[in-house]
Amino acid sequence: MNIRTISALAVLVAGSIAAAPALAQSGFYLGGNVGVTRANFDEEQANQDLLGLGFSSASTTVDQSGTGFKGYGGYAFTPNVAIEFGYFDLGKFTVDSTVSPPGTAHADLKYKGFNVDVVGLIPLGANFSLFGRVGVIHTKQDVSVSSTGSVVTLVPSDSFNKTSWKAGIGVEYMISGGLGVRAEGEVYNVPNGSDDKANIALLSVGLLYRF
């Protein structure tokens, strides 16, 4: 499932909440998820940026996969509508470039932040619910850079902060009492340097407890 599909389905789920019968209980809940992340960094744009600095050739590869997790607390105003506050860590991604005249550059990119989401649930029966979410996030990107040869690192580390959006869809199953499990896919629109933004998808599973 790609990033555009997750975003589109989240909108469809949110639009169906008003007509949904109730299943999950209202009140407070806590939870946490862990999973894999996937970024969409533009390798060709990185090459163009290096060529713009005066290098005669550039080749860039990006490790676009990582491991992420999140923790959250929420309050369900009704059995079908809730608000969640959370912390997320989308993991580390690496960028490696080789240029001519001979030189290399290596960058580690890390993403962490906070979110506020509106969540809507549609019951599917037998303790299952489909849910969608849209939210506001504040993300910090930490960048560490090292280089060799003709590439000179003037600023070995930096950080960038931006407020943007996230969206997601998932399935919830209530096991017994207040204990449940969730599996979901989300898209985080995150900073990529001082001007650009990128999307990172998080596919995760986890537990929640409804009080």
Q: Which structural domain, as residue segments, surrounds residue 29?
A: 3-41+65-91+110-147+163-210
Q: Does any domain span residue 179?
A: yes
Compute the Cα dihedral for 165, 87, 38, 12 and give only its sign: negative
Number of structural domains (the chain) is 1
Predicted confidence (pLDDT) per residue in 80-129, tens digit = 999 999 999 999 999 999 999 999 999 999 999 999 999 999 998 889 99
**149 phi-psi bin (left φ>0, alpha ψ -120 to 50, beta other):** left
Q: Does any domain span residue 16?
A: yes
Cβ atoms within 10 Å of 12's Cβ, excluding its own: 10
Q: Does any domain span residue 152?
A: no
**9 phi-psi bin (left φ>0, alpha ψ -120 to 50, beta other):** alpha
Predicted confidence (pLDDT) per residue in 123-166, tens digit = 988 899 999 999 999 999 999 999 999 998 888 999 999 999 99
Q: Does any domain span residue 56?
A: no
Predicted confidence (pLDDT) per residue in 45-85, tens digit = 889 989 998 999 999 999 999 999 999 999 999 989 999 99
CATH of the domain at 36: 2.40.160.20
Q: Does any domain span residue 124?
A: yes
Q: Does any domain span residue 23?
A: yes
